[in-house]
Structure 1
Amino acid sequence: MNTNINNIKIFSNLDDCTLKKIYQASDLKKFKKNDLLFAEKEKLKYIYLLVEGVVALYKPNKTDNGKKVLFILGPGEILNELIFDNEPTPLSCEFLTNGKILRVPKTFLNELMKNNFTLCTSIITSLISRQKRMIHQMKTSSPSITVDRQLAFKLWKLAKDFGKSTNEGTEINFDLSITYLAEILGNKRETISRQVKVLVNNSLINLHKKRFIIKDSEKLLEYFKTENKN
């Protein structure tokens, strides 16, 4: 069976016969860094599943042409489960790296779900997991938490999810500008730039050409936790 199918989380518990049906009905698409997969208010005919790369799901901000980044997702994730309600997608999705998408027709997957309890359960589990993640993000970005510690936690989490080991520490394995980091945290670029310098001066992180390196993940997480104990 094609590994593109096997590595998708919502398909991980399906039998080979079902996986073969999905494989035959779907296709694989390649994308480049900064490509837009879909835009807010689009009517989508496909379910998109990330095979390779890193993407961001975000809500465009029309007042300043910016965005509020809600999720950074890696391989194995379903990107648009919200379209099962037949409404236009409320979010946009863009690639932060080169990547590949497995594209499954929505009508096909809907028919498959009618007689496949395991698939239904997997998609419901994905929805619940995404909701829990959103709630946790709200807690870690509370106004009661100083911006430097919000930043510390976000960088720790990104390194945990997308990090690779280097001689300096754990490098977040995609380009991340100060501007984009500000859009993730929902703050001004100038504020985030100052707080990055705070973490650098505390010898917790390094920044080289849009690549963040976490020098010691445990110390960075402790930096975040310390403020919350006060």
Structure 2
Amino acid sequence: MNTTNIDFLKNIPIFSDLDDETLQKIYKSGLLQNFRKNSVILSEEDAGSAMFFIVEGKVKVSRSSGDGKEVILAILNESDFFGEMAILDGMTRSATVTAVEDSKLFIIQRAEFLELLRNFPEVSISLLQELSRRLRAATMKIKALSLKDAEGKVATVLLQIADEVGKIRQGIVEIDDLPYQQELANMAGTSRETISRTLHSFAKKGMIELEGSKVKILDYEKFKELYGQ
């Protein structure tokens, strides 16, 4: 069996315990689709007809606030998935998902994914574990953002991104591609000006280093101790 075309499925946590034969069946049940940077993949209130897995690239999950501003709920990366809520409850999409960079997605239609859950309990359990992790993280983030001042909110978002995509080396966490300041502001529930001012304040205090879209948290454990949830 040629396993090259299923290698990306092995990196998706909810499929990691499945054998190659089963992964081949999953691969045949879906399709690969490319999305250009800034393309809207799905919109809030759309019908939920498919499940999406990120093969390459990065997407943002967002909602519109009451005053029309974008609120970024999450940044998802390679091997992450989205679209599960509407698949499971049959309701409309709860958020908009946009490609942050050119991305390749693996898409499984609702009927095929529900059949997969029925046939493979281990996938269902892995999915529930991931949903629980996301709910716990979202609850902690909401609590943190509601209690902290502007500096604390920015730090919370930095820590979230560091945990998701940061590379740690000798106590230093490197984030290679920090989101734009407006996107950080939308994640933290503050303004772009506050993001800029706070990042430069952190840099001046020797907590971080800034270089274009790259940022280093110079003493990750200390930073987490000061601002962690």
With structure 2 as the length reference, what TM-score do the two structures score? 0.86
> For residues 17 and 200 of structure 1, what CA distance do their matches in structure 2 show?
51
**Partner residue, 2:215:** 212
1:8-44 alpha-carbon deviations (Å, 9 max, x no partner): 1111122333212111111122223322211111113
**Partner residue, 2:116:** 112
Does the aligned pair in 2 maintain the 1:7–1:51 contact within 8 Å?
no
List gaps (5 residues or longer) in structure 1. none
Which of residues 130, 133, 150 is equivalent to 2:134? 130
> For residues 116 and 167 of structure 2, what CA distance do their matches in structure 1 show?
37
> For residues 178 and 194 of structure 2, what CA distance do their matches in structure 1 show?
20
Which of residues 201, 206, 212 is equivalent to 2:204? 201
State the one-letter code of the partner of 1:48: F
> For residues 162 and 153 of structure 2, what CA distance do their matches in structure 1 show?
14
**Secondary structure at the residue paired with 1:50?**
strand
Does the aligned pair in 1 maintain the 2:56–2:78 contact within 8 Å?
yes
Does the aligned pair in 2 maintain the 1:96–1:175 contact within 8 Å?
no
**Residue 92 of structure 1, CA deviation:** 0.8
1:146-200 alpha-carbon deviations (Å, 9 max, x no partner): 221222232133123212469xx54322242221111000112222232222212
> For residues 206 and 33 of structure 1, what CA distance do their matches in structure 2 show?
27
**Partner residue, 1:11:** 15
Count of equivalent residues? 223
Displaced runs of 4+ in structure 1, greater than 4 A? none
Distance 1:161 1:206, change over 3 A: same
Distance 1:113 1:160, change over 3 A: closer
> For residues 180 and 210 of structure 1, what CA distance do their matches in structure 2 show?
13
Does the aligned pair in 2 maintain the 1:8–1:76 contact within 8 Å?
yes
1:77-126 alpha-carbon deviations (Å, 9 max, x no partner): 22111012111101011122332211111111112222321222222222
**Partner residue, 2:152:** 149
* Counterpart check, 1:100 vs 2:128: no
**Secondary structure at the residue paired with 1:141?**
helix
**Secondary structure at the residue paired with 1:160?**
helix
> For residues 126 and 45 of structure 2, what CA distance do their matches in structure 1 show?
26
* Counterpart check, 1:79 vs 2:73: no
Does the aligned pair in 2 maintain the 1:152–1:223 contact within 8 Å?
no
State the one-letter code of the partner of 2:206: S
RMSD across aligned C-alpha pairs, in angstroms? 2.3
> For residues 170 and 112 of structure 1, what CA distance do their matches in structure 2 show?
38
Which of residues 24, 28, 35 is equivalent to 2:28? 24
> For residues 131 and 225 of structure 2, what CA distance do their matches in structure 1 show?
30
Distance 1:149 1:7, change over 3 A: same
State the one-letter code of the partner of 1:54: K
State the one-letter code of the partner of 1:30: N
**Secondary structure at the residue paired with 2:78?**
coil
State the one-letter code of the partner of 1:178: Q
State the one-letter code of the partner of 2:46: E
State the one-letter code of the partner of 2:194: T
Identity of aligned residues (%): 27
